[in-house]
Amino acid sequence: MKRECRQPLIIASLFTAMGLFCPSAWAGGILMYDIGTLDTALSAAGWTARAQDASTVFKNPAGMSLLEKSQVQMGAQLMYFDISFSPNSQTTTTGGDGGNPVGWTPAGSLFYVQKLTPDLSVGVGIFSYFGLDLKYDDNWVGRYYAQEASTIGVTFMPAVSYRITPWLSIGAGLNVTYATMKQTVAVRNFDQSDGQIKVEDEDWAYGVNVGVIVQPFKGTRIGVDYLSQMKLRFSDVPSFSGIGPGLDALLRALNAYNKSLNLGMYIPQMVMGSVYQELGSKWAVMANVGWQEWSKFGKVDVTIVNNDARSITIDAKCEDTWHVAGGVQFKPVPAWTFMAGVAYDSSAVEDQYRSVAVPIGEQYRVGLGAQWQVIKDLKLGFSYAYGVLPNMKVDQNRGPRAGRLSGEYSNFSVDFFNVNLEWQF
């Protein structure tokens, strides 16, 4: 009976040793600021205070009441992730370097704001602000730690905003997120051949987005936005392939086949504060300070479901992150606005805890862009940003079955290209 009670914990620990249950994400600590809007050109500077377009539905719903007209905004984005892992001499497994596990990735967004009165607005947005899909080459040196690692979310957000006084606006939105998860890892059989384990599922999560904007002086805006934590609960029966006789006997003895796994992971809460300041009719400057709670994201609750389900928590040793950014806008003529920005995000993991399933670190970025007033109520925007995550070391060792994986991501960079359209009516 005692063995029956401990069995779920033993199975969960076995699957953990095989390399499952690593959360995956992108950035320095990362909720993505690049959602197909002009914020890419500004490196997200002024995120919660600018309130110049319909994407304020997400960035700070309080800003909707400050828009002069109803508006539709559409954005298309293409990202290129250049990820290169270089194993060193301490790596004990033979194989390749994994190739580029991401490459080109498309994204986009759609926002709509409707003015009901001069002070009351409602809006809705569809976009993706977190996730990454990694797929390494099958026979790479880190295959016992990750072959595929993917967590991707798409968000639907209705929101409302009200201007209480000429200097104070508030807003709130409902965060409805659909997320998918997929993890695939190789497992070394007792005869040294490779098998494979895969888990995948989808889930819905719900949270809130609340913000406030204060305008103490003409041309000055101070915005603060809070995005709440959400929990995803994935569940799947792992699929096995290529499992050798010895490992197969162990899994059967533990009755591990056909056991449902429940995985609980968090989408972090975030607080962002921004300031936007106009300097005459042609110039404006802006800045951000933000915090994201990635320490909870790194803790994955694992439950083996049977008559006596028990849970363990896998801790990836993530830590909270900080974000700072600064940007500038320049409007030399009525039809054109140019912009640029720089930003820094601290790392969500220290070098000794970094995983090839979660290749994240501190990030530096710079952005450039322009917006063209095509006709009276139609604007076309172009943005580019370059982000770099320098010298991310990896040193993982889960014993002789997985081997030691040591090396670094020395040239991890990301290029962001987007175009967006704004129509006012």
Q: Which domains, ranges and CATH numbers included, belong to the chain?
A: 2-424 (2.40.160.60)
Upper half-sphere CA count for residue 358 (Cβ side, 13 Å): 31
The three-class DSSP label of residue 58 is: helix
Beta strands in 91-229 (DSSP E): 103-115, 120-127, 131-135, 148-165, 168-188, 194-214, 220-227
How far is residue 131's CA from residue 292's CA, in Å, rounded to a whole number? 15
Strand partners, 272: 225, 290
Structure confidence at residue 24 (pLDDT): 47
- Residue closest to 268 by CA, chosen among 50, 89, 52, 26: 26
Per-residue model confidence as pLDDT tens digits over 55-65? 999 999 999 99
The three-class DSSP label of residue 166 is: coil
- Residue closest to 46 by CA, chosen among 341, 370, 365: 341
Give φ, ψ of 351 to 5 degrees. -55, -40
pTM, two decimal places: 0.89
Low-confidence ranges of the chain (pLDDT < 50): 1-5, 23-29, 307
- Residue closest to 354 by CA, chosen among 131, 180, 146, 130: 146
Instruction: Give the burial class of 1: count Cβ atoms within 10 A of its Cβ; 0-12 exposed, 13-18 middle, 19 or more buried.
Output: exposed
Other CB atoms within 10 Å distance of the CB of residue 221: 28
Structure confidence at residue 344 (pLDDT): 96
- Taking CA atoms, 76 is separated from 35, 40, 127, 280, 359, in Å, by 8, 12, 10, 32, 25
- Taking CA atoms, 267 is separated from 35, 177, 204, 297, 402, in Å, by 17, 10, 12, 6, 29
Q: Are 375 and 350 in contact (CB under 8 A)?
A: no
DSSP 381: E
Contacts of residue 280, defined as CB under 8 A and 6 or more positions apart, other chains included, come to none
Per-residue model confidence as pLDDT tens digits over 209-255? 999 999 999 999 999 999 999 988 888 888 888 888 888 887 787 77
